[in-house]
Structure 1
Amino acid sequence: MRFIKRPNDFLFHALVIVASVSLAVLSLLVIYSVVMRYVFDDAPDFVEPIALLLVIVIAMFGAALKVREGGHIGLDSLVTKLPPKGQVMAAAFQHLCLIALAVAIFFGCLQMAETTMEDRIPILGLPEGVRYCIPVVASVCIALFSLENLLALFVKKHN
């Protein structure tokens, strides 16, 4: 399991840092925007597109982090009533579904990123495809974390 656990540990900590910094920057941006708008009557126009990118980072990386921790939405009330083998099979099915979702997100967002890379985000001037690159990275993390959890199910079963 070390072959996947160690790289995923590094990836997990990197995502925690990026998501945490993004949340802090988003909070500061919102405070700055509110103060500028209501105190100085001078609303900065760059805050909204930056905030949107930060929200995408926080949501997508947060989702990946919860997959690693096993904190995603599940039907625990149903699964706990199953016999032990059924619980393992339900967890395996859940992780396979998450991997399938990650693959769909990866290819869908990769196609959107390629399609919109020539367009520019107004005010910022960044390629529009940047919005879709964030879920591409997150989907890879979701797939790796789900694979780790899936492998852990069967390593526990055989030990």
Structure 2
Amino acid sequence: MTAQLIESKTVNDVQAERPGCGSASPLDLFTCTCARLARVCMMLSVIGLVCLIAAVAFQVFGRHVLNSTPTWAESLSLLLVLFVTMMGAAVGVRDAGHIGFESLADLLSPPAKRRLCLVVHALVLLFGAMMAWYCGELAVSVHAVKIPNLGLSEAWKYVPALLSGVLIVLFSLEHIIATYRNQKVVLAWL
């Protein structure tokens, strides 16, 4: 039923129900900024996925056709996988695409369901903050070490998770604010 409602909405309908994209309220501006950030993350993830496919295809071509495997392609592919998955994870948190136990929430009264929702988003926020903090510490601790075959700092392996952690904090905060305001977060991809 929900999928049918989503499919029947036009882009103008969705933009009209987005809270505050044109208003001056700081909370509405924050929601609009989070939606734009999520869309940018999705676009960057798609670009990263295309680059990942190209790097792996070049690696396969080099190995089987040229009989000379490009050494940098595997290291680049690993970095791109980290980037794509971490950006996708952050957007998944904003669009509530993560795994949830809906049956428990459905058994609760509306006030209890709201409290449970706030606790879940607070825990996800805490997870994102810890992920950002510890990935930042890891990046600093290995910044002098170079990735073989690429010449980049090992810190670049932790940057996608650090960024994802920061975005998860922002997106969880957006969900907490929306819950307090009795609003729904509109999906970024609509």
Larger helix percent: 1
Q: 1:127 aligns with which of 153, 163, 174?
A: 153
Q: Secondary structure at the match of 1:118?
A: coil
Specify the alignment match of 1:156 in structure 2.
182
1:1-159 → structure 2 map (5 Å cutoff)? 1-156=27-182
- Where does structure 2 lack aligned partners over 5 or more consecutive residues? 1-26, 184-190
Q: Deviations over 1:128-153 (max 9, x none)?
A: 11111221111111000010011101
Matched pairs, number: 157
In structure 1, runs of 5+ residues without a counterpart are: none
TM-score (norm 1): 0.94
CA RMSD of aligned residues (A): 1.2
TM-score, structure 2 as length reference: 0.79
Aligned AA (1:102): G
Question: Shift in Å at residue 35 of structure 1?
Answer: 2.0
* Identity, % of aligned positions: 29
Relative contact order (alpha carbons < 8 A, sep ≥ 6): 1 or 2 greater? 1
Deviation at 1:85, TM superposition (A): 1.4
Q: Give the superposition deviation at 1:40.
A: 2.5
Structure 1 segments (4+ residues) deviating >4 Å? none
